[in-house]
């Protein structure tokens, strides 16, 4: 969430930067809300000051034998006026907060203009896509022929956009998750966390999913409690330090978690409906970093390298792009996407997004840093996929398929699954 004073001081510059995201900032409305709130705060303070003065006068008049009835009546009136002023102040504060919560993060000037993937800027490529001597199949045909993926029975259980992995397919999913966690905790310095999959509205608000993107979320409740299923482990991991002040000496903080993720995919129907690229429920290993604001860009490059390392270890060709301003997530000020090569589509497809959110989420979640001098400031937060299990499984299956319908297992995964290949019949091969 933004500081209204900072936006008003930036003025036309804030309008310009947000326009790059396709958002029109109404400065007049912001000025009006902020001014009315501030005036009501001042008025309430003045009423409380007068109330305190009257409260001190009443006993003095009584002790001197005077008539305090008028003072007592004024005290009663002030009490009502203060109550009304505080209620109005609270409403104005809520109106201002709602307005600010709907404003996305300001994109950095280094981010390219544009509102779609067509405007992304390629940063680099790694690896060369495999040339097959046969027509490569997609992961759906491979998985169903081998009996390790079952979309029909998943639909029977839950409807479209769900999947079931069986046998060697389930083992590969488990192996990928464990491999990613080991890589990040043993080599990249992350602390593994096991976090709730259900969180409060306040937690969702802290990372920017609420209030704007409620239609993308699955929600439930117990009694009067309303809870949301997490769309990514970024939500609970980042909010672990909500309403906290962290000593700068403890930074950077690096967390990772393997969780299911739940997304309604509102507005995406008709896109990637085949296979496991866009499901309502999928598993992901997430990376989150918390640091001092001035170090966020360095931390972003570090996180990006950690996500890339997963693909390098698996031997999967990929490219890195910087997203255009209008194509970034709500909370990001800059985002790198990693796109893995899918042989069946003959194109690179997104497999990871690594975003620097600056202080945007920390302001919403009240995550602050205390430096050596005791000065407090808002932290910077970053998040990235490291990696999603389903999309990685699809890439491995397609990249390592053989002409006879079997699939080789990447060397780094063999210790995790206990076999080197999956036969055309779905049976593991030692």
Supply the residues annotated as catalytic: 263, 278, 350, 353, 391
Place of tokens 């937690």: 203
| Separation of CA 114 from chain center | 22
Go through 220-257 and write b for each residue having 16 or more CB atoms within 10 A of its CB, e for each that does not: eeeeeeebbbbbbbbbbbbbbbbeeebeeeebbbbbbb
Residues with Cβ within 8 Å of 388's Cβ and at least 6 positions away in sequence, in order, are 261, 282, 283, 284, 285, 351, 352
Place of tokens 């990871």: 352
| Separation of CA 285 from chain center | 13
Strand partners, 226: 221
Strands (E), 160-243: 164-165, 191-192, 198-199, 219-222, 225-229
What's the burial of 307, exposed, middle or buried (CB within 10 Å: 0-12/13-18/19+)? buried
Binding residues for ATP: 263-265, 350-353
Length of the chain: 430
Residues 374 and 315 sit within 8 Å (Cβ to Cβ)? no
3-state secondary structure of 271: coil
Binding residues for L-serine: 232-234, 263, 286, 383, 385
3-state secondary structure of 381: strand
Phi-psi region of 52 (alpha: psi -120 to 50; beta: other; left: phi over 0): alpha
Cα dist from 393 to 36, 54, 80, 174, 408, whole Å: 54, 73, 65, 10, 12
Cα dist from 233 to 98, 212, 300, 332, whole Å: 25, 19, 18, 16
For the chain, the straight-line distance linking the first and the last C-alpha, in angstroms and rounded, comes to 53
Name the CA dihedral angle for 152, 397, 336, 287, rounded to a multiple of 10 degrees: 80
Alpha helix stretches (DSSP H) within 64-199: 69-101, 139-146, 151-158, 168-186
Distance CA 29, CA 4 (A): 11
Write out the two tokens for 276.
């496991």
């Amino acid at each position: 969430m933004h500081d209204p004073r900072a936006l008003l001081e930036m003025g036309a510059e804030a309008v310009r930067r947000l326009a790059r995201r396709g958002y029109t900032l109404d400065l007049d409305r912001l000025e009006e809300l902020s001014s009315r709130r501030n005036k009501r705060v001042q008025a309430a303070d003045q009423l409380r000051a007068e109330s305190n003065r009257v409260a001190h006068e009443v006993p003095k008049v009584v002790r001197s034998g005077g008539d305090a009835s008028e003072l007592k009546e004024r005290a009663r009136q002030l009490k009502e006026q203060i109550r009304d002023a505080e209620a109005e102040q609270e409403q104005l504060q809520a109106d201002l907060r709602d307005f600010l919560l709907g404003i996305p993060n300001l994109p950095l000037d280094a981010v390219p203009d544009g509102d779609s993937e067509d405007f992304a800027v390629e940063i680099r490529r790694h690896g060369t896509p495999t040339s097959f001597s046969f027509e490569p199949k997609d992961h759906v045909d491979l998985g169903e022929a081998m009996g390790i993926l079952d979309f029909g029975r998943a639909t029977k259980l839950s409807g479209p956009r769900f999947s079931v992995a069986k046998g060697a397919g389930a083992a590969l999913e488990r192996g990928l998750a464990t491999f990613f966690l080991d890589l990040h905790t043993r080599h990249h310095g992350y602390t593994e966390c096991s976090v709730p999959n259900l969180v409060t509205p306040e937690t969702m608000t802290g990372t920017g999913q609420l209030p704007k993107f409620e239609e993308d979320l699955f929600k439930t409740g117990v009694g009067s409690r309303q809870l949301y299923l997490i769309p990514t482990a970024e939500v609970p991991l980042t909010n672990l330090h909500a309403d906290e002040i962290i000593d700068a000496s403890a930074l950077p903080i690096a967390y990772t978690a393997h969780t299911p993720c739940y997304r309604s995919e509102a507005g995406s129907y008709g896109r990637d409906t085949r296979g496991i690229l866009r499901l309502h429920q999928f598993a992901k290993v997430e990376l989150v970093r918390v640091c001092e604001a001035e170090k966020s860009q360095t931390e972003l490059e570090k996180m990006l390298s950690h996500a890339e390392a997963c693909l390098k270890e698996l031997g999967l060709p990929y490219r890195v792009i910087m997203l255009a301003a209008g194509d970034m997530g709500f909370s990001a000020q800059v985002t790198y996407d990693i796109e893995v090569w899918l042989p069946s589509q003959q194109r690179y497809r997104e497999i990871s997004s690594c975003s620097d959110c600056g202080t945007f989420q920390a302001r919403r979640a009240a995550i602050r840093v205390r430096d050596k001098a005791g000065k407090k400031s808002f932290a910077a937060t970053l998040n990235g996929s490291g990696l999603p299990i389903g999309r990685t499984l699809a890439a491995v299956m397609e990249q390592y398929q053989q002409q006879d319908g079997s699939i080789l297992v990447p060397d780094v995964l063999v210790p995790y699954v206990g076999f080197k290949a999956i036969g055309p019949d779905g049976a593991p091969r030692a």
